[in-house]
Structure 1
């Protein structure tokens, strides 16, 4: 059951990346990579100038914990996709104000070189797309204080190798 959820999540992220990615315009040519708040240095680039999953996780974790979040244990990313996908879920109940911590996390990631793309803001849900060095991050905040809330940061490598791995995983889990 868990594997099917990951396959669906991975497919959704791949589709979102393909259909809703930043397409030029205002986020081209802005500053270089600078450390995220709570991070001591910019993430190291992997092969081909892209970040690796460990560096992406470190940036998300550094920004989120500095903003007041603690990581909530969740489902593991399938082994075949670990180099292509990072999932970080906040334990929003431990944050004083999860909405403010979410906004602070996103701001720290932007300061750290992530380029903000599209934002979907509907009543109780906000999903922001950020891009950096071949990775797309979906930062989401759902719910309101005192009710069911969920804050997640899911990043995927948008390169052709990872796209193929996502498609293979999806086909295998149909």
Structure 2
């Protein structure tokens, strides 16, 4: 089950990085042009660079300040750890998940994350934000008393795109 979950996540990330995430191109989701940075470096022309630890800290700081607690979850596979951050919210501990979600996204925007796409329909909100070669999908799904909030960030560098493709292929062969 866990391998299937990561294979699906990796497939989604590969499609996102390749610009096939649905609904047209997503600003900031393609590989950094001309970048030969190692996995996790994520440098972009707009300046600065982030690694997975810095992205985790930025998401964590914004989310906890907004009232969220991180939900324990499966760890990102070691081969993808420098390319992906998964910050799932413990919905049972959130007082007002929608307000905390909005506050988290606002705090990330104040910290330089630029919104490039937004989807809002029938209780689900998904926002794409980009910063320094990383794409962050912030999602809030809430219907019928069930609430799920997640922040998943991926490094768009060519090295990470390659790592996601290799992990996807490896998991296809083990299912």
Instruction: Report TM bin, short chain.
Output: 0.7 to 0.9
Aligned to 2:158: 160
Q: State the superposition RMSD in angstroms.
A: 1.6
SS at match of 1:173: helix
Gaps of 5+ in 2: 29-39
Aligned to 1:125: 124
Aligned to 1:27: none
* Residue 47 (structure 1) shift: 7.0
Give the number of aligned pairs. Answer: 152
Map Cα deviations across residues 54-111 of structure 1 (whole Å, 9 max, x no partner): 0000000000000000001111100100000000001122111100000000000000
| Larger relative contact order (Cα-Cα within 8 Å, sequence gap ≥ 6) | 2
- Runs of 4+ in structure 1 displaced over 3 angstroms? 45-49
* 2:58–2:108 Cα contact (<8 Å) kept: yes
* Residue 50 (structure 1) shift: 2.5
Aligned to 1:172: 170
SS at match of 2:98: helix
Q: Give the TM-score normalised by structure 1.
A: 0.82
SS at match of 1:156: strand
Distance in 1 of aligned mates of 2:151 and 2:14: 15
